[in-house]
């Protein structure tokens, strides 16, 4: 066998291994809690390099153990078309690209599905390779998980403060209550931090955050998340 054919065979097996392993992982996470994410590991390494104690608060809970307002708040803040698109909001992506070319302040065009794929499977960054993998994983979770599971993983895995990941951890640390007891205002305030949870603190909100909280609460009136029964929506 020539050297070229050997390399070709190795590459073929690597491609098969990549697709098999990633699909199996996505299928497993359809039911299993996500124990940790790449960002959690990166933050811990950063803390150790700076000589700090490791800060990692993360406690997985089912979606129906969270306040009914939490998914509505993040949809109002981050992705109001979450229930309608199939992982990508092409209008938002196009607008973000246009504004970037015009030199305007870059806005996020990522949907909740894309953010979930990035948080669970990838690393922070803006390279084309990472973006390509983000598209791949977003398509997979939309196909295999569905909207309720994507929301559940998102709300359990996303960074919500310094060393704080997920709704239960931020509820306990910043509001002194379980996630099930978060009020509508609490959830809107948490959602207000998500563009930059290391800069914005839901425990000590700035005037800007309070203004954004008010805007999010107004938007929440127009959003329903079908993952909850009508009885829970009236709690």
For 84-96, how does the pLDDT look when each residue is reduced to its tens digit (9 = 90+)?
Answer: 998 888 776 656 5
For 2-37, how does the pLDDT look when each residue is reduced to its tens digit (9 = 90+)?
Answer: 777 888 888 899 999 999 999 999 999 999 999 999
pTM for the structure as a whole? 0.88
In a domain, 121, yes or no: yes
In a domain, 101, yes or no: yes
Domain carrying residue 107: 61-233
For 117-150, how does the pLDDT look when each residue is reduced to its tens digit (9 = 90+)?
Answer: 999 999 888 788 899 999 999 999 999 999 999 9
Buried b (16+ CB within 10 A) or exposed e, 141-171: bbeebebebbbbbbbbbbbbbebbbbbbbbb
In a domain, 53, yes or no: no
In a domain, 195, yes or no: yes
In a domain, 102, yes or no: yes
Instruction: Please tell me which residue, 232 or 45, carries the higher pLDDT value.
Output: 45
In a domain, 177, yes or no: yes
| Tokens standing for residue 136 | 């791949």
In a domain, 209, yes or no: yes
| The total number of structural domains that make up the chain | 1
Task: Name the nearest CA neighbour of 159 among 23, 46, 26, 82.
Answer: 46
In a domain, 108, yes or no: yes
**CATH at residue 128:** 1.10.3810.10
Give the helix, strand, coil percentages of the chain, each rounded to 5: 60, 5, 35
């Amino acid at each position: 066998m020539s050297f070229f054919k050997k390399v070709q065979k190795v590459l073929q097996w690597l491609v098969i291994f990549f697709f098999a392993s990633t699909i199996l992982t996505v299928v497993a996470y359809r039911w299993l809690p996500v124990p940790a994410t790449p960002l959690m590991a990166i933050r811990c390494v950063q803390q150790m390099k700076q000589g700090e104690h490791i800060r990692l608060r993360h406690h997985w809970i089912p979606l129906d153990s969270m306040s009914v307002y939490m998914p509505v708040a993040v949809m109002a803040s981050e992705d109001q078309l979450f229930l309608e698109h199939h992982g990508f909001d092409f209008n938002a992506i196009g607008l973000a690209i246009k504004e970037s070319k015009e030199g305007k302040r870059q806005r996020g065009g990522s949907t909740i599905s894309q953010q979930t794929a990035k948080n669970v499977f990838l690393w922070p960054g803006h390279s084309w390779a990472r973006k390509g993998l983000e598209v791949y994983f977003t398509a997979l979770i939309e196909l295999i998980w569905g909207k309720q599971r994507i929301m559940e993983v998102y709300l359990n895995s996303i960074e919500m403060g310094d060393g704080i990941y997920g709704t239960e951890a931020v509820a306990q640390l910043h509001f002194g209550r379980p996630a099930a007891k978060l009020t509508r205002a609490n959830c809107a305030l948490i959602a207000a931090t998500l563009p930059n949870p290391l800069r914005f603190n839901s425990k000590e909100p700035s005037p800007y955050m309070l203004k954004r909280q008010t805007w999010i609460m107004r938007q929440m009136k127009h959003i329903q998340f079908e993952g909850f029964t009508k009885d829970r929506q009236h709690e």
